[in-house]
Amino acid sequence: MFKKRIPFQYDEELKRELDLRGRSYGTYKNYRSQLRRMSEHFDKDLKDISVGEAKDFLYHLKNTLHHQPQTINLCRAAFRFFRHNILGEYVAPDLLPIHKFVYQLPDILSTNEVLLIFEHLSLKYRAVLSLCYGSGLRIAEALALEIGDVDSKTMKVYVRCAKGGKARYSILSSYSLKCLRLYWKQYRPPEPMLFPNRDNPADAMRAHNIQKGFSETFKKLFPNSNKRITTHTLRHCFATHLLDSGTDLRTIQVLLGHKSIQSTSIYTQLTDFHFSKLVSPIDRGRSDSLV
């Protein structure tokens, strides 16, 4: 039997408190989702959930549901925000410890592999995801685009809903432009949204079905692969393949919208271009001594 859903009564308060602090609508949706899950898990109103129960829930996310550290820490942040800014109760950080994040290098696809997947997707999905690969956009950024954000004259994309609230420009690929023109001819989306939600055209399409379709297509085409592939992989591929072609790291940082060059520098671990130009110190000496 399914649990009865507990009404979430804090939508407006949560939205207001986050908006006052300049946090994005995406943060509101993520916090709301985590808080609802916690409330339904304990079958009680969120304000009645203790710090000890919240800790138990985080433990449940880790050891029963096997969620990633990002999800666990997001849930922790949402609960602390709710208690502090809506209920007015301070929760010391050490009472709900941060889950240590162990960074793993992302898996990468080749350009041909990406294009093969695109060939098996619907036109609508292909138009969205071509922007993730061709322009390095997060899927939320691609879905939030307005029609006027795509400039075919300068071949640029204006990313208005970037992470952290910082808008930026990125390049527009010829492939994406062709997909978008075909998409426009077939769907004629009402302004201003480029990818409107079918039920509410004022909002963007939801990412879930696109993400699911992409993952399922990858698994169907590459059933023996053990790579961890998601729609966000396309953004990693964009950066890595630019680096492969000789684009400098600073330019890639700007296109991705990374605040720190350290975030961008991970792609030097994924590219063959830089490694092929390196010479080990041992090979600079008398390496012929073993012959």
Among 67-71, 115-119, 182-186, 279-283, the least confident range: 279-283
Q: What is the 3-state secondary structure (H, E, C) of the chain?
A: CCCCCCCCCCHHHHHHHHHHCCCCHHHHHHHHHHHHHHHHHHCCCHHHCCHHHHHHHHHHHHHCCCCCHHHHHHHHHHHHHHHHHCCCCCCCHHHCCCCCCCCCCCCCCCHHHHHHHHHCCCHHHHHHHHHHHHCCCCHHHHHCCEHHHEECCCCEEEECCCHHHCCEEEECCHHHHHHHHHHHHHHCCCCCECCECCCCCCCECCHHHHHHHHHHHHHHHCCCCCCCCCCCHHHHHHHHHHHHCCCCHHHHHHHHCCCCHHHHHHHHHCCHHHHHHCCCHHHHCCHHHHC
Instruction: Indicate whether 162 and 86 sit together in one domain.
Output: no
* Boundary-marking domain end, from 63, 95, 127: 95
Q: Please say if the pLDDT value at position 289 is more than 60.
A: no
User: pLDDT tier at 99 (50, 70, 90 boundaries)?
Assistant: confident
Per-residue pLDDT, 276: 66
Per-residue pLDDT, 268: 83
Per-residue pLDDT, 78: 96
Instruction: Tell me if 264 is assigned to some domain.
Output: yes
Instruction: Indicate whether 131 and 270 sit together in one domain.
Output: yes
The domain total for the chain is 2
Instruction: Tell me if 6 is assigned to some domain.
Output: no
Domain limits at 43?
11-95
Catalytic (active-site) positions? 138, 163, 232, 235, 258, 267
* Boundary-marking domain end, from 95, 125, 141: 95
CATH of the domain at 183: 1.10.443.10
Instruction: Tell me if 283 is assigned to some domain.
Output: no
What value does the mean pLDDT take over residues 34-39? 94
Q: What's the pTM value of the predicted model, to 2 decimals?
A: 0.75
Between 177 and 103, whose confidence is greater? 177
Per-residue pLDDT, 6: 64
Instruction: Tell me if 118 is assigned to some domain.
Output: yes
Q: Which tens digit of pLDDT belongs to each residue from 117-157?
A: 999 999 999 999 999 999 999 999 999 999 999 999 999 99
User: pLDDT tier at 1 (50, 70, 90 boundaries)?
Assistant: very low
Instruction: Indicate whether 73 and 136 sit together in one domain.
Output: no
Instruction: Indicate whether 200 and 270 sit together in one domain.
Output: yes
Instruction: Indicate whether 171 and 228 sit together in one domain.
Output: yes
Instruction: Indicate whether 131 and 246 sit together in one domain.
Output: yes
Instruction: Indicate whether 76 and 194 sit together in one domain.
Output: no
Instruction: Tell me if 100 is assigned to some domain.
Output: no
Between 102 and 8, whose confidence is greater? 8
Instruction: Indicate whether 261 and 131 sit together in one domain.
Output: yes
Instruction: Indicate whether 68 and 162 sit together in one domain.
Output: no
Instruction: Tell me if 45 is assigned to some domain.
Output: yes
Pick from 205, 209, 227, 208: which is nearest to 218 by CA? 227
| Averaged confidence pLDDT in the chain | 89
Instruction: Indicate whether 54 and 153 sit together in one domain.
Output: no
Q: Which tens digit of pLDDT belongs to each residue from 191-236?
A: 899 999 888 887 888 899 999 999 999 999 999 999 999 999 999 9
What value does the mean pLDDT take over residues 59-78? 92
Instruction: Tell me if 18 is assigned to some domain.
Output: yes
Q: Please say if the pLDDT value at position 31 is more than 90.
A: yes
CATH of the domain at 69: 1.10.150.130
Instruction: Indicate whether 196 and 269 sit together in one domain.
Output: yes
User: pLDDT tier at 2 (50, 70, 90 boundaries)?
Assistant: very low
Q: Which tens digit of pLDDT belongs to each residue from 170-200?
A: 999 999 999 999 999 999 998 899 999 888 8
Can you read off the two tokens belonging to residue 217? Answer: 């297509």
Instruction: Tell me if 173 is assigned to some domain.
Output: yes
Instruction: Indicate whether 152 and 249 sit together in one domain.
Output: yes
